Amino acid sequence: MIASAAAPLIAQRRNAAAPRPNIVLIMTDDLAAWMLGCYGNKEIKTPNIDALAQSGTRFLNHSVCTPICSPSRATFFTGRTPRQHGIHDFLTDNPVADPPQGQKDVPASFANEVMISDVLSGIGYNCGYVGKWHMGDSRKLGHGITFSYTQSNLASGYDGSPMYQDPVMWRNGERIQEKGYLAEILTKGACEYLDKQSASQPFFLTVSYNNPHTPYTGHPQRYYDMYAGKKFETFGYSQPAPNALREKNFLNDIPGNIAKCAAAVTALDDQIPALRKKIHERGLADNTLIIFTGDNGFLLGRHGLWSKGYASNPINMYEEVVQVPMLWSWPGKVPPEIVRPELISSYDLMPTICDIVDAPVPSRNLCGRSYLALATGQPLPRRTRWQDLVFSHFRNTEMARDSRYKLVVRNEGAGPNELYDLRADPRERTNQFENPEFNTVRERLTKELEAWRKKYA
């Protein structure tokens, strides 16, 4: 098993009686990997995230299980698929029809899910959560989280209401009307939590930013000024597609709206130094792992679409919406300037965290595997090969992807199936599903997808 690949690292820590590491997980909303400088974007300014990537490991191929927020977050924190944890769509009080979008309630069974925070609190970690929750009631998180500073569900932005200025927050269940810019408020809340931590007890802190989720209003003016008049000619966007659905109104002015989104991304980038500085000030840097990722990707006009999985009808699984950043920074444990090409998924985070802290993986029929060895530059065990194969699932659409090919299957007559040769066609412009030259590839990935579906239903 891949988990055993990190055995030397775990053994060293145990033999030296060193404390378990602190973990800071930075989660973003609607931030695709391709939107960052460290992943090749030349027009959106992200120097601080890029510096974080330089300080450790950057995964080139990190996929989410579901390209929309609530189910994706649930998979990140439980290691389970939507069919298992029961959140299949983004949570909203007013699901949008034609086609149905959104899910009104969290299933009652979700309260029994085992989250990363449950595992860590059970072995002595202090667990805190700051920012967007979007997996049910934001007031009382449970799951071993003893400190929470979360945004009100009413300020989701889906209804067009203000989100980034003067937010309503819940601090450990108490309603607080804050003043100021949301991202800076969340950073301040995270730093206040860090101020209370010490080397005597390990902690797990999630800092969950809304940036760059719509609406694109409410960010400080200086960030909009950075991108005024930019054309974003390297982005490869195209004319609106006939099947464009969610947020297709942004396609009316693609460069102008990219500029607004870019402002939100750079505003997010400016939060990273304060978090890293606080960790250093507290003397915690040497034993703190920082993980930076996102809940789903985004198109920004590519393929003639704007949003994420629901950008089109039928649902899409383009690389832009599935691929999100996965960056690790951990002084002395994660070598700097490492780039890993292996395919990993959001459902792999739970077993990876368990591997880091030497805790048993929950007995919940998890489909993930630890990639700790990849992140830390440890060799795999002899005669062990990392299998480059990941899966995604969103409502009636499923995906199986290996290091070269991607299969997208739509059930219930929801639309055409797709097959792409990502090596020859990285922008997924030519559907090879009906091409007889790809019969063997199609059949192989179909069998893999069917087996995954059956085993992890």
Percentage with pLDDT > 90 across the chain: 88
Q: Indicate the range of 151-160, 196-205, 308-317, 354-363 predicted with least confidence.
A: 151-160
Mean pLDDT of the region 281-296: 97
Task: Look at residue 17 in the predicted model and tell me its pLDDT.
Answer: 59
Q: Tokens standing for 319?
A: 């690389």
Residue 322 burial (CB count, 10 A): 29
- Domains located in the chain, CATH noted: 2-387 (3.40.720.10), 396-457 (3.30.1120)
Three-class SS state of 312: strand
Alpha carbon of residue 111 to chain centroid: 21
Phi, psi dihedrals of residue 430, rounded to the nearest 5°: -120, 110
User: Which residue type, as a one-letter code, is found at position 179?
Assistant: K
Strand ranges for 283-334 from DSSP E: 288-294, 326-329
Mean pLDDT (the chain, rounded): 93
Q: So what's the pLDDT on residue 2?
A: 37
Q: pLDDT tens across 14-68, in order?
A: 444 578 999 999 999 999 999 999 999 999 999 999 999 999 999 999 999 999 9
Query: Which residues is 421 bridged to in the sheet?
Result: 405
Long-range contact set of residues 348-351: C-beta below 8 Å, sequence gap at least 24: 348/79, 349/76, 349/77, 349/79, 349/116, 350/77, 350/78, 350/79, 350/116, 350/119, 351/3, 351/79
pLDDT for the residue numbered 14? 45
Nearest 10 degrees: Cα torsion 307, 309, 315, 318 = 90
User: Which pLDDT belongs to residue 103?
Assistant: 95
- Look up tokens 């189910």; give the residue: 71
pLDDT in tens, 396-411: 999 999 999 999 999 8
Containing 254, the helix (H) or strand (E) segment is helix 254-269
Residue 381 tokens, joined? 């065990």
Task: Retrieve residue 312's tokens.
Answer: 């089109």
Check whether 69 has a pLDDT greater than 60: yes
User: Span 71-82, mean pLDDT?
Assistant: 98
Residue 1 has pLDDT above 60, yes or no: no
Residue 162 has pLDDT above 70, yes or no: no
pLDDT above 70 as % of the chain: 94
pLDDT of residue 314: 96
Structure tokens at 167: 């937010």
Residue 94 confidence (pLDDT): 86
Provide the pLDDT for residue 10: 45
User: And the tokens for 234?
Assistant: 């390297």
Q: List residues bridging with 328 in a β-sheet.
A: 57, 291
CA angle in degrees (0–180, nearest 5) for 441-447-449: 100
Q: Which pLDDT score is estimated for 157?
A: 47
Residue 415 CA, distance from chain mean position:
26
Asked whether the predicted pLDDT for residue 229 surpasses 80, the reply is yes
pLDDT of residue 159: 45
CB neighbours of residue 363 within 10 Å: 7
Calpha distance 110→103 (Å, rounded): 14
HSE-CB at 141 with a 13 A cutoff on CA atoms is 33
Q: How far apart are CA 283 and CA 198, in angstroms?
A: 8
d(CA 202, CA 196): 12
Instruction: Mean pLDDT check: name the lowest of 92-101, 299-308, 332-341.
Output: 92-101
- The more confident residue out of 182 and 159 is 182
Supply the pLDDT for residue 153. Answer: 62
At residue 8, does pLDDT exceed 60?
no
Question: Could you tell me the CA-to-CA distances from 82 to 42, 89, 363, 411, 415 in Å, in that order?
Answer: 35, 9, 17, 16, 21
Helix 272-281 vs helix 182-195: crossing angle, to nearest 10: 10
- Using DSSP, state whether 270 is helix, strand or coil: coil
Q: How far apart are CA 136 and CA 106, in angstroms?
A: 6
Pairing of strands 203-208, 288-294: unpaired
Kindly tell me if the per-residue pLDDT of 147 is higher than 60: yes
Phi first, then psi, for residue 208 (nearest 5°) are -110, 100
CA–CA separation, 441 and 436 (whole Å): 10
